[in-house]
Every structure is written in C-alpha cells, then in structure tokens.
Amino acid sequence: MNPRAPLSFLPAPIRGAIALALLCTNTLFWTIPLVALALVKLALPLAPVRKRIDPLLNSIASCWIACNSGWMRLTQSSVWHVHGLPAGKRRNGWFLVNCNHQSWADIFVLQHLLNRRVPMLKFFLKQELIYVPVIGLAWWSLDFPFMKRHGKATLRRNPERRADDALATRRACRKFELVPTSVMNFAEGTRFTRDKQRKQHSPYRHLLKPKAGALALTLQSMGSKFDSMIDVTIAYSPGVPGFWDFLCGRVERIGVNIRELPVPEALCTGDWSSDAAYRARFQQWLAQLWQEKDELLDSLLAA
C-alpha cells in the first residue's frame, strides 16, 4: 500500500469514517446485481444455468473487492511487505487457501492480494453471519457455505447433529466443483487472542491449535480437483488491529508470506469420522504445517 495515501493527512477517525462510508456504498452498489442474478439461479436450479451465472456472480464480487482495494489505497498508509505473491493470473483452476486468523482485516488483506490472481475466495462462515445486513445476502448469493455450530449440551441431546457440518461441507464442495474456486479455510476456527491461546494450552507462539475436521472434509470431497494449496501467513505491526483500527489506517506494517504447496494426495482419500489412522496422518501433516507457519510469523514480526 502507498505510504503516501492521498487522504493520509486527515486524522485517523475521519479517515475511518470515510473508509466505512465507501465500504458501505460499495457493498450496497454491487449487492443489487449480485442478488438479482442469484434469484435467477434460485428459480432455475439447473447445472447449465449455474455454470453460466456463477462466473458472472464471481465477476461482480471481484469488482466489489477491486473497489475495496481502491478505498484502501485512498485512506491507508500501511507499509506492506509481501513475499511469494502468485505471478500472473490463474483464474481457471481450483485452489485450497489456508491462513492464520487474527482480525476481520485478514479477509480484506487476502482479497486485496489474491483478487483476480486466483479464482474467487469462498469462505466457510458461521450460520449466524447470514443475518448480517446486506453482506449476509451477498454471501448467500455467492454460495458461501454457512456452518451450524452446536454446543456440547445440544450434541449430547442430539448426537446426530455432529454430521451437520460434514453434510454442509460436502454440499458446498459439490457446488465448488462446477466453477473454478479458491476454497478458503481458517483452520484455527476463530480469531487468535492471547487469552484463547492460554486456555487452549497451544504449543505455538503465535497461533491457536488448528482444527482439522473441515479441512479434512474439504480434501476428501474435492482434493483431486485442487491444483495446489496456497498457504498464507499474515502479521501486523505494532499489533493486531480491530476492524475500526484497520479502517482508520492505524496499521503501520502488514507482513504477508505466501507459499504454494502441493496438496498431499495421500490425504485426499480416507474417512475422517471413522479412520483413526487417516486422522493421525492428517493431524501430523497439519501440525507440521502449523509449526512452519509459527516460525514464519516469528520472522515476519521480527522484520
């Protein structure tokens, strides 16, 4: 990002208000055609219709992201240090994207860097987020999968509920297979905080323990479809920003490391729910990936 952003001379709260206004206006503008096309797809739930409309929906979403990058350049003075950014445009393949999770700003960072370099990023979202005004409707239009999270008491009363997320993941992956897609996963399952790290007794300095279930189900469902895995590690200085801090441009430095890794073929076949040997192999692979990511965060924060 340009350290001399045109509006960098303004006080941070004013820049934040301008950024928020531009974000809301941009979202409202692009949601109208997005929802209109999604309703056509809903009325005609046929594969040929989906194959024609989904690329149009993804193009609209890419325009929304590009406009977000525009107001970020206008208001943000953060210094970006990015290593390993994919060269050229690779929009006709399928990618598994994995990233650490610290802030809502992570999504804007990922979209800003990867937009139009790889296919549209699709996130797994909590069911409650579908009710977020306007943006929840946009996520629904783009077939973002919404996952239900059941508490321990609910699962004790209704053990069959454990299968809900697995079914939702498989349904989403069947849709993803029709049009080139980048399936995004935050393996930690929630944003990192030191309090969560302590409660988990996480063995990592900068990360929570990764949750393997959703990632394993995605690989089981469409692992052979993926060209590669794009592993992203994000670090903020001097500290992790809240969403308002990000809008105000209070992030001095954003360090990003991007690695393109092969998808392990041995982990694309197996049954996470019933195969203990498969679970052990998968957890070992993910633990190694997380150890490398923890070391990358050390170097990004020290730079």
Mean pLDDT of all residues belonging to the chain = 89
Best-predicted range by mean pLDDT among 122-131, 165-174, 273-282?
A: 273-282
For 95, phi then psi, to 5°, come to -135, 145
Grade residue 162 by pLDDT with cuts at 50, 70 and 90: low
For the chain, the domains span 79-302
- Give the residue, 151 or 303, on which the prediction is more confident: 303
Q: What residues contact residue 59 under an 8 Å CB cut-off, 6+ apart?
A: none
Nearest to 195 by CA among 240, 149, 236, 244: 240
Portion of the chain with pLDDT greater than 90, in percent? 58
What digits encode the pLDDT tens for the residues 242-297?
999 999 999 999 999 999 999 998 898 888 888 899 999 999 999 999 999 999 99
For residue 94, the model assigns a pLDDT of 94
Instruction: State the architecture of 79-302 in CATH terms.
Output: 3-Layer(aba) Sandwich (3.40)
Grade residue 174 by pLDDT with cuts at 50, 70 and 90: confident
For residue 198, the model assigns a pLDDT of 95
Residue 284: how many other CB atoms lie within 10 Å: 10
DSSP 83-110: E-PPPS--TTS-EEEEE----THHHHHH
Residue 151 has pLDDT above 60, yes or no: no
Q: Is 19 exposed, middle or buried (0-12, 13-18, 19+ CB in 10 A)?
A: buried
Residue 153 has pLDDT above 70, yes or no: no
Half-sphere exposure of 228 (CA within 13 A, CB side): 13
**Residue range 147-153: mean pLDDT, rounded:** 63
- Give the residue, 169 or 52, on which the prediction is more confident: 52
What digits encode the pLDDT tens for the residues 102-112?
999 999 999 99
For residue 221, the model assigns a pLDDT of 85
Rounded Cα distance, 175 and 183, in Å: 11
For residue 150, the model assigns a pLDDT of 56
Residue 132 has pLDDT above 70, yes or no: yes
Grade residue 156 by pLDDT with cuts at 50, 70 and 90: low
Residue 155 has pLDDT above 60, yes or no: no
Rounded Cα distance, 142 and 160, in Å: 28
